[in-house]
């Protein structure tokens, strides 16, 4: 077993170096495939980060009446926090709202002077609600309406809920997120299918150049596993070298576009992301390259052997 394995590996290495032009073409195709696949991964990470930031900017605020009892506000807060759709609820008291308003308008003397002339604090307490998903804000708004959560007995304790003012933006964001996820999945599966097809046909060319050797091996009684082995080793070499080449290409490309992505994608520098996740990206690229080369080689040589068998029969 050990001797057979050593011979298969040795034959794979010899075939790789002997078929230099075909090997170069195969490596080029797999490198392009891995580079495009990696680029789609980077784009997906950038889009996911941008969408996460957009999600964070969308919220719903509940503004209470000035005489709303604090215990009723906290009761509503607890009810909202128990909802599965709610990520968290933050409370801003009237005093905190006034302090924040004064800090925001610290340089606006006219506004501050007008505020001082008012009798008491004119700003209400509020709850800020963040949903787990943008599509779940409607569920939260429906809860507030259906459960009469905005009333204390017959008295109204809520002045305004901002969901309906933000509904258009929330619905549009939910649509963008869903569309981006569907598009990402479609592109990924399409890319995988194209990659396997191109790599399969390229490696088949390498197998075709060795057709005489395969015929001689078959005549001498070699089994399909022994014939298939060197080509799988060759495919693994294509994948490993292509992964190294793709990683080498990622460095200058991400360095070149890093500042542009930081400006366009909410401060995310793709080059910094590449450096920070270098080991995991290299591991994933290497595994993908080896898998792509080995599987494509195995399928291609099996198909060739089956065709030869059919011709012989």
The DSSP result for the chain, as a single string, is -HHHHHHHHHHHHHHHHHTHHHHHHHHHHHHHHHHHHHHHHHHHHHHHHHHHHHHHH--EEEEEPTT--HHHHHHHHHHHHTSTTEEEEEEE-HHHHHHHHHHHTTT-HHHHHHHHHSSS--PPPEEEEEESSGGGHHHHHHHHHHTTTTEETTEE-EEEETHHHHHHHHHHHHHHHHHHHHHHHHHHHHHHHHHHHHHHHHHHHHHHHTHHHHHHHHHTT--HHHHHHHHHHHHHHHHHHHHHHHHHHHHHHHHHHHHHHHHHTTT--HHHHHHHTHHHHHHHHHHHHHHHHHHHHHHHHHHHHHHHHHHH-
**Is 204 within the bounds of a domain?**
yes
pLDDT (mean) for 173-200: 71
Enclosing domain of residue 236: 2-54+173-312
Do 120 and 151 reside in the same domain of the chain?
yes
**Is 162 within the bounds of a domain?**
no
Lowest mean pLDDT among 113-122, 211-220, 237-246, 254-263: 211-220
Do 207 and 139 reside in the same domain of the chain?
no
Do 147 and 194 reside in the same domain of the chain?
no
Do 213 and 146 reside in the same domain of the chain?
no
The 10s digit of each residue's pLDDT in 226-244 is: 677 777 888 888 888 989 9
Do 50 and 97 reside in the same domain of the chain?
no
Identify the domain boundary among 115, 131, 156.
Answer: 156
Domain count, the chain: 2
Do 182 and 98 reside in the same domain of the chain?
no
Do 26 and 81 reside in the same domain of the chain?
no
Do 196 and 281 reside in the same domain of the chain?
yes
Do 96 and 189 reside in the same domain of the chain?
no
Do 187 and 39 reside in the same domain of the chain?
yes
The 10s digit of each residue's pLDDT in 265-283 is: 666 788 888 888 889 889 9
State the CATH number of the domain containing residue 84.
3.30.70
**Is 104 within the bounds of a domain?**
yes
Distance, first Cα to last Cα, the chain: 31
pTM metric for this prediction: 0.60
**Is 165 within the bounds of a domain?**
no
Do 203 and 233 reside in the same domain of the chain?
yes
Instruction: Please report which confidence band the pLDDT of residue 310 belongs to, taking 50, 70 and 90 as the band edges.
Output: very low
């Amino acid at each position: 077993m050990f001797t057979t394995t050593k011979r298969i590996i040795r034959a794979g290495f010899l075939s790789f170096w002997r078929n230099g032009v075909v090997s170069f073409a195969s490596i080029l195709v797999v490198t392009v495939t891995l580079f495009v696949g990696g680029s789609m991964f980077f784009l997906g990470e950038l889009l996911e980060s941008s969408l996460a930031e957009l999600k964070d900017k969308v919220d719903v605020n509940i503004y209470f009446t000035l005489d709303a009892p604090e215990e009723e506000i906290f009761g509503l807060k607890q009810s909202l926090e128990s909802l599965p759709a709610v990520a968290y609820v933050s409370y801003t008291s009237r005093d905190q709202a006034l302090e924040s308003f004064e800090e925001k308008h610290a340089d606006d003397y006219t506004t501050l002077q007008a505020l001082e002339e008012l009798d008491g604090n004119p700003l209400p307490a509020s709850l800020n609600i963040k949903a787990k998903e943008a599509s779940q804000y409607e569920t939260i708004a429906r809860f507030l309406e259906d459960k009469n959560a905005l009333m204390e007995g017959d008295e109204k304790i809520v002045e305004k809920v901002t969901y309906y003012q933000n509904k258009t933006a929330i619905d549009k964001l939910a649509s963008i997120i869903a569309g981006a996820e569907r598009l990402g999945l479609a592109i990924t599966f399409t890319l995988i299918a194209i990659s396997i097809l191109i790599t399969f046909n390229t490696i088949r060319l390498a197998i075709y150049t060795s057709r005489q050797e395969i015929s001689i091996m078959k005549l001498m009684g070699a089994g399909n596993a022994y014939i298939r082995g060197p080509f799988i080793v060759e495919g693994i070499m294509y994948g490993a070298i292509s992964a190294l080449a793709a990683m080498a290409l990622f460095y200058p490309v991400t360095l070149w576009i890093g500042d542009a992505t930081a400006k366009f994608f909410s401060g995310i520098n793709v080059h910094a992301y590449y450096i920070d996740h270098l080991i995991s990206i290299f591991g994933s690229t290497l595994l993908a390259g080896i898998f792509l080369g080995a599987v494509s080689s195995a399928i291609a040589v099996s198909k060739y052997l089956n065709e030869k068998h059919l011709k012989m029969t």
